[in-house]
Amino acid sequence: MLKILGYPDRLSVAPGEEIAFKVSLEEGTRFDARLVRVIHGDANPAGPGLKFRHIPTAIDGSHPGRPQRIDAGSYMIVERAPALAAKPFTFFAMIWPKLPERVDQTLLAQWDPKTRRGFRITVDGGRLGAILGDGKRIARLDSGKAMLIRQWYSIAVAIDPATGAVTLDQIPVGNYAQVDDRGHAEAILGVTLPELEAPLTIAGCPQADGTIDGHFDGKIDGPMLCEGLRPAALHQTLRAIDPVTPAPKIIARWDFSKEIETTTAVDVGPHALHGQLMQLPTRAMKGWNWTGEEHNWARKPDQYGAIHFHHDDVYDAGWETSVALTIQDDLPSGPYALHVTCGASNAEATRESYIPFFVRPPRNRNGKRPDVVFLAPTCSYLAYANHAEHITARGAELQMGRLLQFGHIDLYMYEHPELGGSLYDRHADGSGVAYTSRLRPNLNCAPAYHSWLGGHGSALYQYNADTHIFDWLDHQGIDYDVITDEDLHADGLDLIRDYRVILTGTHPEYHSTAMWDAMKAWIDRGGRLMYLGANGWYWRIAFHQHLPGVFELRRSEDGIRTWESEPGEYYHSVNGEYGGLWRRIGRAPNVIGGVGFIAQGFDLSSYYRRAPDADNPRAAFIFEGVPDAIIGDFGLVGGGAAGIELDCIETRLGSPPNMLRLASSEGHTPMIMLVNEEFGVVPPNLGGDLNPRVKADLAFGETPSGGAIFATGSIAWCGSLSHNHYDNNVSRITANVLKRFRDPKPFPTR
pLDDT band at 366 (very low <50, low <70, confident <90, very high): confident
Residues 228 and 259 in one domain: yes
Q: Which of 534, 495, 499 is nearest to 738 (CA)?
A: 499
pLDDT at 281 over 70: yes
**Structural domain harbouring 16:** 4-69+321-359
Instruction: Give the C-alpha separation, 99 to 288, whole Å.
Output: 17
Residues 189 and 274 in one domain: yes
Contact criterion met (CB below 8 Å) for 538 and 597 = yes
Lowest mean pLDDT among 246-250, 529-533, 570-574, 638-642: 246-250
Q: Which of the residue ranges 145-149, 454-458, 684-688 has the most confident prediction, judged by mean pLDDT? A: 145-149
Residues 247 and 280 in one domain: yes
What is the tally of structural domains in the chain? 2
Residues 63 and 80 in one domain: no
Residues 300 and 336 in one domain: no
Q: Residue 236 domain-assigned? A: yes
- In 592-636, where do the E strands start and end? 596-610, 630-631
Q: Residue 232 domain-assigned? A: yes
Contact criterion met (CB below 8 Å) for 718 and 506 = yes
**pLDDT value, residue 241:** 54
Q: Which of 225, 284, 290 is nearest to 254 (CA)?
A: 225
pLDDT band at 126 (very low <50, low <70, confident <90, very high): very high
Count of alpha carbons within 13 Å of 566, Cβ hemisphere only? 17
Residues 31 and 91 in one domain: no
Instruction: Give the C-alpha separation, 284 to 259, whole Å.
Output: 10
| CA angle (275, 277, 281) in 5-degree steps | 145
Cβ neighbours of residue 395 under 8 Å, at least 6 residues apart? none
The DSSP symbol for 283 reads E
CA-derived radius of gyration, the chain: 28
**pLDDT value, residue 198:** 96
- Quickly list DSSP for 434-487: -EEESSS--TTSSTTPPPTTSTTBT---THHHHHHHHHHHHHHT---EEEEHHH
Q: Residue 411 domain-assigned? A: no
Instruction: Give the C-alpha separation, 493 to 45, whole Å.
Output: 41
What element of type H or E holds 324? strand 323-326
What element of type H or E holds 154? strand 153-160
At residue 287, what are phi and psi to the nearest 5 degrees?
A: -95, -170
At residue 486, what are phi and psi to the nearest 5 degrees?
A: -65, -35
Q: Domain containing 337 — which CATH number?
A: 2.60.40.10
pLDDT band at 244 (very low <50, low <70, confident <90, very high): very low
**pLDDT value, residue 246:** 60
Residues 40 and 79 in one domain: no
Residues 267 and 136 in one domain: yes
At residue 307, what are phi and psi to the nearest 5 degrees?
A: -120, 135
Question: What's the mean pLDDT in 275-286?
Answer: 98
Instruction: Give the C-alpha separation, 664 to 649, whole Å.
Output: 10
Instruction: Give the C-alpha separation, 75 to 35, whole Å.
Output: 37
Lowest mean pLDDT among 112-116, 352-356, 399-403: 399-403
Q: Residue 163 domain-assigned? A: yes
Q: Domain containing 122 — which CATH number?
A: 2.60.120.200
pLDDT band at 400 (very low <50, low <70, confident <90, very high): confident
**pLDDT value, residue 203:** 98
Position with higher pLDDT, 473 vs 402:
473
